[in-house]
Structure formats: C-alpha cells, structure tokens
Structure 1
C-alpha cells in the first residue's frame, strides 16, 4: 500500500460520490482515508508504505500532497452527504476531514517546505543526498508541487488564513521559469495557477448544495457558514471579495457563470 496512490483513489471516489450521487463511494473513500490516518502515522510522521501490516519509509512530498488533497475532497464530499441524507455513511464529520488536512499540511510544511526557494522538496534532508529535488514534472502521477499549490489555495478558501495563499504565490513564482520554458512538462503547475487565479468559494445555505453538485465547478470550494445575510441563499466570493448576496438559484447560477470565466 502506497499512500500517494491510494490518495488518488480516495479523491476519485469522493468526487464521484457527489457527481453520481452515490454515498457508498464516499463511504469507501472515508474508510481508506481512516486507515491511512490510523496506521500510517508513527511518532508524528506520515509514512509512505504498508505491506503486510509493516509500515515503513517516511512520506515523500507526493504522499503529503495527494493525501491532503484527498482529505479536502472528502471534506467537500461530506458536505454534500450531510445535506443529502440524515443518515451518515461515514463516521467522520466534514470538519474533521478539514482538521486532519490542516494538521497534515503543517507537518508537510515543517519537513519539506523550502524556506529559501519556495515549493516542496521531494524527501527529507539527508547526508546521503547530493541535492534535494523539488518535483514539478507530471508523469504517471501528478507532480507533488502542482497538487500542493492547489491545496494551499483550497485551504485558504476554507480557512481565510492568508499564509496559505502567500505560500501558493511564492511557489508559483519559484517555478515560473519552468512554466514559461517547458509548459508541456508541468500541466499540474498550470492547474494550480488556475486555482490561484480563479479561486472561488461559495458560502451556501444547505438547501442549494444539491443544485451545486450538478455543476462542474473546477476551482470552487464550498462552505456552509453559520450565518448568511438576511434573505440570502449563498455568497459567491473570489478570495476575500464577495459578490452581492444571492436570493435565488438563477441569480446564484448567473454569478457562478461570471466568476468562472477565464480571460
């Protein structure tokens, strides 16, 4: 069992649960994520491998990045589930998935963030390493830094902690030369740039979640705030700037169409 590869499947299941309105997919994703949280954390560090119950190898950047993404996808899927059915199929609340993602991001930053250059190193520092690489090219799996930068933007949208956005911007600046010279080698970085440049959060009443689930919203995060302006069903915000409160589904759809336009 490799954390990074399983995280790809967890993300796929969590997203498919919403698209196909299938709570069993979300339950499978939740069980897999819970296994990783329970079994792969040893002495405060995420570990990459588990074969025959034997855990080994400190997690690499792709394990952190893809598992944090999986936890964020579970958080979003759980919001759908919470408004879809009064009987949850996953034991953990959406807020708990987010809490776990935040904690893992802190661990990721502590051990693999490059304070001097920006972006994330592939592995921990070691006397045996001649150079510490920062993975940016996409191969059979997405690059760790592309996923990580998108995660930072998503975490900012959910928490409004500006430090996440600053890290995302610094990382994009660090890799801007490669993006200009060899764009076909790093589509993940351009996906992260899309998140950064078109970041949108919908602060919604639970009654509109099912309608939102039917739409393709590539750079959108959903939040269910305790309060909305009187008469509003949702607020569409880009970063910290929000549009006029929406009072109808048609108005909400119109605002989303505008906010998701690419220049």
Structure 2
C-alpha cells in the first residue's frame, strides 16, 4: 500500500516552511520525527523514509526551509536567521513529543530547535539525531562544496557522496546544476558557520545519535565517531552500503535505526 502524503506550507517567524507528512495519522505513534534537510536537498526526498517509518507505526515529517527545494522562487535566508527564528518556530508549531533529525547542514537547524524553551527540559523532546554532520566542524568540507558548478564537479561529488551514484541523463544534469546554483543557493551555503551552531547544544542533556553512511567520503565515519565521543550521551551508528544520504540510499535501514531510537526514548 502506498502511503498518501500531504504537502503543507506553514507561515512562521523567519519565513515559510514546506512540510511533507502522512495524510492519515491513525495508528501512528505519538512520537514525531521532525527532519531538516541539508542545503541542496528537499523535503520531497524524505518521502520514502516517512513511508518506511509509517510502516513501523511512527509519524515523521520533513520540513523544508524557505528557498529550498525544486520549486523555490526566492533565495534562502541566512543561516543566522534560520537558526535564530525559523527553526525554533518550526519546533514550536509541531506539537507533541518529538525527535529532531538534521541531515548535513540541517543538523544545525535541528540543533537550533533545541532553543525552544518548552523543549529543553520537558518530555516533549525525546532526542536529537544528526545525519552525516557533526558539531565539532573540524576538517569538514565547506558547505558550498555540495553545490557543484560543472559536470566534472558533479561527477566528483556523486562519487564521494553515494555508495552507488545515480546515473543522471543530460537534461536531468542540467536541471540539477541549475537548481543547485540559482536563487542565491551558494551565498546561502557560504553563510553557514560549520562550528558556530554548536552552542545550541550547550543546554541539551539528552541522547544525541550520530548516523553516518560507511561510504560517505565527504563526512566520514571518523568525523562522526569523533563528534559522538565528544558528547555526553553521544552514540554512533554506521549504515552499510550507504554514502552521505541515508534517507535516500538506505531508507529502510535508517527507519530501523530511528524506530529503535524511538523505542528507547519511550522506555527512558
């Protein structure tokens, strides 16, 4: 059975948010996984993960910042604005117990959601999951390196970020390169401070799950292991046959990891 998804647009402080979520919530757990995509990615690319989690009785959504996605009409705001206003507004708008999930630069947005006062010391916050990014920021690639500007750069990036790189035809390649470099995407990426967002974790005492694809050659297992070791309550999970995009390359394996995390959070 194909899961029916709803695409909503929320009007929030700091800009709108496009939300992809299950249309029907009957039989889904009260815990909500709130996923924040990275620069160059889209909430639509979480559809299969959302469906896999729903198949396990878990509710999940993906929340896209303004200026992200295939049909973005405006430039994304700076990361300072997204982290200072937008991400906390998202977390406040989605009611109930939640696990915040951030992929790539979305890890900074998920972590900024911790600044919602009602979440920090309340049962509403059940955990934080960082996918293929770490708050230490040491030796991580510049975020703009995930926005290739030529066919050669695209091939190099795909080879370093995917276990089995997708084969894009000429038309799809042109569209992808255009999307990754229009509407101020590069300027937005360059506004990202790879270490400056770590202070959002200062008051967080819960479990942080670090998840990485074994074959990610941009943000490596070693990067993520170091990040997990530096946090009290930090844990590392490595997904096999997977690069930088576990929600796209191995949605079933990632759903299994997240389901186990949800079960543990309910037992705590």
TM-score, normalization: structure 1?
0.31
| Structure with bigger gyration radius | 1
Relative to its length, the structure with more helix (as a share) is: 1
Higher relative contact order (CA 8 A, sep 6+): 2
Relative to its length, the structure with more strand (as a share) is: 2
